[in-house]
């Protein structure tokens, strides 16, 4: 009797275990049927996609700068005198060597006339002694002229030659002082405000006016030292001023300082801008953008890139299936990012709906809709 009871209990347990196993398998099948997308089958997941494109990537850095004239000089008096002629108007454009100021020069002209007279007198005396010396040399062969007389005439000739040279030097000196009464423009440009009037007595060094060549403008600005290795002449520079809203002036780097400022850790850079309409004025404050590099590159939307630690990847769509692809990034742009490895131009990547897809999953791609 006891044996029969044990057999019945064992049979009951076997039956219960078998039924539980069938129930478990049925639930597993139901779960798998309910989530077919997890295994790449079933209804495709809707996503928005975009095509990887090529575009121009511009790397630049910003700074502030000050405009300087291409050439600039302060016109000052070289000697004392009263102003006789003013040969310019304030703000006038002048040519090179144009007379700007002329001082009264009557006294200097009189000095020049006297110096010329002294030269003529010295030359005449020298020529007369030379003739006497020549005649004496001819008579020496006959014994009618002593050696002492010849020596005397030769000494007089040398003395008068020195007198002539001294008089000629005085002419050059007086002539140079006469040139100093006439101030001319050292280069073509535009004069500034006049600081003197007709008849005014000026002293050496007194300011007359300024002269600036602003047909071209130099802009001086600083660039952080981290960009030093990428700076070079002819880099493109864009400048803007609050005085000219909406206008951009373009120039090129012409000079890079040989020293780095230890206080600011930056290097001074000069750029040259054409200024045909002379809108840029010396001293004008400008915001500056210097283009360090310009290149064609692979570009994808920033929202298509997934970060995973230090790595990045995108989902590439091929035949309505997604493939996870590791990529390497470089320059970040406005709403986009430059890719240097991992995808090619023309490939399609998932831009929205990334959270719902996995590698190998079937998707229903739709074009990326613009954000409102």
**pLDDT tens readout for residues 243-276:** 999 999 999 999 999 999 999 999 999 999 999 9
Sign of the dihedral through C-alpha 363, 366, 371, 372: negative
Residue 329 DSSP SS3: strand
User: What pLDDT shows up at residue 314?
Assistant: 94
Q: What is the fold of 40-56+296-367? A: 2.40.420
pLDDT tens digits along 137-147: 777 766 666 77
Between CA 274 and CA 301 the distance in angstroms is 38
Q: What is the largest CA-CA distance in the chain?
A: 188
Between CA 91 and CA 240 the distance in angstroms is 25
Phi, psi of 143 (to 5 degrees): 85, 10
Residues whose CB falls within 8 Å of the CB of residue 319, separated by 6 or more in sequence, listed in order: none
pLDDT tens digits along 143-168: 666 777 777 777 877 777 777 777 77
pLDDT tens digits along 172-190: 666 666 667 788 899 999 9
Q: What is the mean pLDDT of residues 340-357?
A: 92
Between CA 339 and CA 54 the distance in angstroms is 10
Q: What is the mean pLDDT of residues 30-51?
A: 64
Exposure of 128 in the CB half-sphere (CA atoms within 13 A): 7
pLDDT tens digits along 317-341: 999 999 999 999 988 888 899 999 9
Q: What is the mean pLDDT of residues 356-372?
A: 87
Share of the chain above pLDDT 90, in %: 51
Q: Is the pLDDT of residue 305 over 90?
A: yes
Higher pLDDT, 1 or 328: 328
CATH number of 111-169: 1.10.287
pLDDT tens digits along 58-72: 888 999 999 999 999
> If pLDDT is split at 50, 70 and 90, which confidence band does 122 have?
confident
Higher pLDDT, 86 or 177: 86
User: What pLDDT shows up at residue 108?
Assistant: 63
**Where along the chain do its domains lie?**
40-56+296-367, 63-68+213-295, 111-169
DSSP assignment of 170-234, as one string?
HHHHHHHHHHHTEEE-SSSEEE------TT-EE-TT-EEEEEEEEEEEEEEEEEEGGGGGG--TT
User: What pLDDT shows up at residue 225?
Assistant: 94
User: What pLDDT shows up at residue 36?
Assistant: 45
User: What pLDDT shows up at residue 107?
Assistant: 61
Q: Judge if pTM exceeds 0.85.
A: no
> If pLDDT is split at 50, 70 and 90, which confidence band does 345 have?
very high
User: What pLDDT shows up at residue 26?
Assistant: 44
User: What pLDDT shows up at residue 110?
Assistant: 60
Q: What is the mean pLDDT of residues 13-30?
A: 44
User: What pLDDT shows up at residue 175?
Assistant: 62
Which DSSP letter does residue 249 get?
E
Q: Is the pLDDT of residue 7 over 70?
A: no
Place of tokens 């007086």: 174
Higher pLDDT, 3 or 169: 169
User: What pLDDT shows up at residue 111?
Assistant: 63
Q: Which CATH number fits domain 63-68+213-295: 2.40.30.170, 3.30.1360.40, 1.10.1060.10, 3.40.50.300?
A: 2.40.30.170
Q: Is the pLDDT of residue 227 over 70?
A: yes
pLDDT tens digits along 230-244: 999 999 999 999 999
Q: Is the pLDDT of residue 217 over 50?
A: yes
């Amino acid at each position: 009797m006891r044996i029969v009871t044990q057999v019945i209990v064992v049979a009951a347990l076997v039956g219960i275990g078998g039924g539980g196993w069938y129930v478990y398998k049925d639930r597993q099948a139901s779960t798998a049927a309910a989530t077919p997308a997890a295994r790449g089958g079933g209804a495709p997941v809707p996503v928005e996609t975009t095509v990887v494109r090529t575009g121009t990537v511009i790397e630049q850095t910003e700074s502030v700068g000050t405009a300087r004239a291409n050439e600039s000089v302060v016109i000052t008096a070289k000697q004392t005198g009263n102003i006789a002629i003013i040969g310019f108007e304030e703000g006038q454009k002048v040519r090179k060597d144009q007379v700007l100021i002329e001082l009264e020069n009557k006294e200097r002209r009189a000095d020049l006339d006297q110096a010329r007279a002294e030269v003529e007198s010295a030359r005449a005396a020298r020529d007369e002694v030379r003739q006497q010396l020549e005649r004496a040399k001819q008579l020496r062969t006959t014994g009618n002229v002593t050696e002492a007389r010849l020596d005397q005439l030769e000494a007089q000739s040398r003395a008068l030659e020195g007198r002539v040279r001294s008089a000629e030097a005085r002419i050059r000196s007086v002539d140079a002082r006469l040139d100093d009464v006439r101030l001319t423009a050292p280069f073509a440009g535009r004069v500034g405000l006049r600081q003197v009037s007709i008849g005014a007595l000026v002293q050496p060094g007194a300011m007359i006016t300024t002269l600036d060549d602003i047909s071209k403008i130099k802009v001086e600005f600083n660039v952080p030292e981290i960009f030093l290795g990428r700076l070079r002449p002819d880099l493109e520079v864009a400048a803007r001023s609050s005085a000219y809203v909406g206008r951009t002036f373009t120039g090129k780097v012409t000079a890079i300082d040989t020293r780095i400022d230890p206080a600011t850790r930056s290097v001074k850079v000069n750029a040259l801008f054409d200024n045909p309409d002379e809108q840029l004025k010396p001293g004008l404050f400008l915001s500056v953008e210097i283009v360090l590099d310009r290149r064609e590159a692979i570009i994808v939307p920033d929202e298509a890139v997934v970060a995973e630690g230090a790595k990045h990847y995108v989902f590439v769509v091929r035949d309505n299936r997604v493939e996870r692809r590791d990529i390497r990034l470089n320059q970040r742009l406005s709403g986009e990012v430059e890719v240097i490895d991992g995808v090619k131009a023309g490939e399609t990547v998932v831009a929205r709906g990334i959270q719902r897809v996995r590698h190998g999953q079937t998707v229903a791609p739709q074009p990326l809709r613009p954000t409102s």
